């Protein structure tokens, strides 16, 4: 069975706390694993969360601040130590190439695995696997930052009642799917569009066009809410979002499941992030992330 879920490895901004590791998130998408923003301690959090180096096919880094990237050194060495047999793509802002290179070669180790750097320097598609396209969009932060958006192409679902009404069965179903038409019956007559799922990862940014473009129509949006609304000025100054800002983005974008994360250590009550997100008018599924949480992608929309 295909599994689509978010595995939360860490949820702290800037510095880890007693209860929160630096950032780190793995999106399990059918057979693939995409690691987002591995902060310090990610290798151990993967162990605790049951994610192996072999599970990773892709790494996406939004920007080169330590809480989003210091874990690259350990994770890349672990991928090599475990002799992961498949290539692992790595996306990150091209302006941070020197940071990526340093982290990749931070200490001596034996290279056995194929890490495939694919730096990002513009908005657009950064990978197309057939199963999904991965898009990047520029965010607004003191250092260059890109958010990511994964889009599954729309598919088609055959409707059994319509097939039966046209008397199409057995191998003819496959013929119709392949050729698009069979004896005057078209694919449209017997099937409906199955909307592809969309996931977005938005870290370390002020409100900007990229945030809205990434969030648009997402089944799941993982987004930073470093600050609470009373600290909006501080958020703007440091290039971050508040809980209310993130929730309004999700509301306006029609997000199915909103995951708030990347919390400042100044706050002690995670419940306040939820209250402010609800007060901002977001009424979909809402998760205030904590370490080692697993959040399944919502069911397909009709």
Cβ-based neighbours of 297, under 8 Å, separated by 6 or more: 4, 5, 6, 197, 199, 219, 220, 257
Is 219 a binding residue for Zn ion by CB under 5 A? The answer is no
37, 67, 204, 291: the active-site residue: 67
CB of 13 to Zn ion, least distance (A): 5
CB of 83 to Zn ion, least distance (A): 32
CB of 20 to Zn ion, least distance (A): 12
Considering only residues 4, 8, 12, 13, which one is a binding residue for Zn ion as defined by CB under 5 A? 13
Sketch the per residue contact string, 187 through 206, with Zn ion: x for CB under 5 A, - otherwise: -----------------x--
- Choices 5-13, 48-56, 147-155, 161-169; region in contact with Zn ion by CB under 5 A: 5-13
CB of 39 to Zn ion, least distance (A): 8
Q: Which is nearer to Zn ion, 4 or 240 (CB)?
A: 240
Residue nearest to Zn ion (CB): 67
Q: Which is nearer to Zn ion, 40 or 152 (CB)?
A: 40
| Interacting residues with Zn ion between 233 and 292 (CB under 5 A) | none
Annotated active-site residue 231? The verdict is no
> Could you give the C-alpha distances from 148 to 59, 183, 215, in angstroms and in order?
11, 44, 9
Q: Which is nearer to Zn ion, 13 or 42 (CB)?
A: 13
Here the tokens at position 293 are 């949480």
Q: Which is nearer to Zn ion, 37 or 152 (CB)?
A: 37
CB of 248 to Zn ion, least distance (A): 21
* C-alpha span between 41 and 122 (Å, rounded): 30
Q: Which is nearer to Zn ion, 4 or 65 (CB)?
A: 65
| Interacting residues with Zn ion between 54 and 93 (CB under 5 A) | 67
Using CB under 5 A, list all residues that contact Zn ion. Answer: 13, 67, 204
- Active site members: 67
């Amino acid at each position: 069975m295909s599994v689509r879920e978010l595995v939360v490895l860490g949820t702290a901004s800037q510095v880890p706390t007693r209860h929160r590791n630096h950032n780190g998130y793995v999106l399990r998408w059918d057979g693939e694993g995409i690691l987002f923003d591995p902060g310090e301690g990610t290798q151990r959090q993967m162990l605790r969360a049951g994610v192996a180096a072999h599970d990773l096919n892709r790494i996406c880094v939004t920007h080169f601040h330590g809480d989003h990237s210091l874990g690259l050194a350990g994770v890349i060495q672990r991928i090599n130590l475990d002799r992961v047999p498949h290539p692992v793509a790595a996306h990150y802002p091209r302006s941070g190439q020197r940071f990526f290179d340093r982290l990749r070669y931070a200490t001596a180790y034996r290279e056995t695995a194929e890490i495939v750097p694919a730096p990002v320097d513009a908005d657009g598609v950064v990978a197309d696997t057939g199963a999904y396209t991965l898009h990047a969009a520029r965010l607004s932060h003191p250092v260059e930052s890109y958010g990511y958006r994964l889009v599954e192409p729309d598919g088609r679902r055959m409707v059994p009642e319509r097939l039966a009404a046209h008397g199409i069965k057995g191998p003819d179903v496959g013929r119709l799917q392949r050729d698009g038409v069979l004896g005057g019956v078209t694919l449209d007559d017997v099937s409906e569009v199955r909307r592809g799922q969309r996931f977005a990862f938005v870290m370390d940014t002020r409100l900007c066009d990229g945030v809205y473009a990434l969030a648009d129509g997402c089944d799941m949006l993982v987004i930073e809410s470093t600050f609470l609304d009373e600290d909006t000025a501080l958020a703007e100054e440091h290039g971050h979002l508040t809980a209310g800002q993130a929730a309004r983005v999700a509301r306006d974008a029609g997000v199915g499941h909103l995951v708030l994360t990347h919390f400042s250590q100044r706050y002690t009550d995670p419940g306040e992030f939820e209250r402010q997100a609800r007060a901002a008018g977001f009424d979909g599924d809402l998760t205030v992330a904590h370490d080692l949480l697993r959040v399944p992608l919502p069911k397909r929309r009709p």
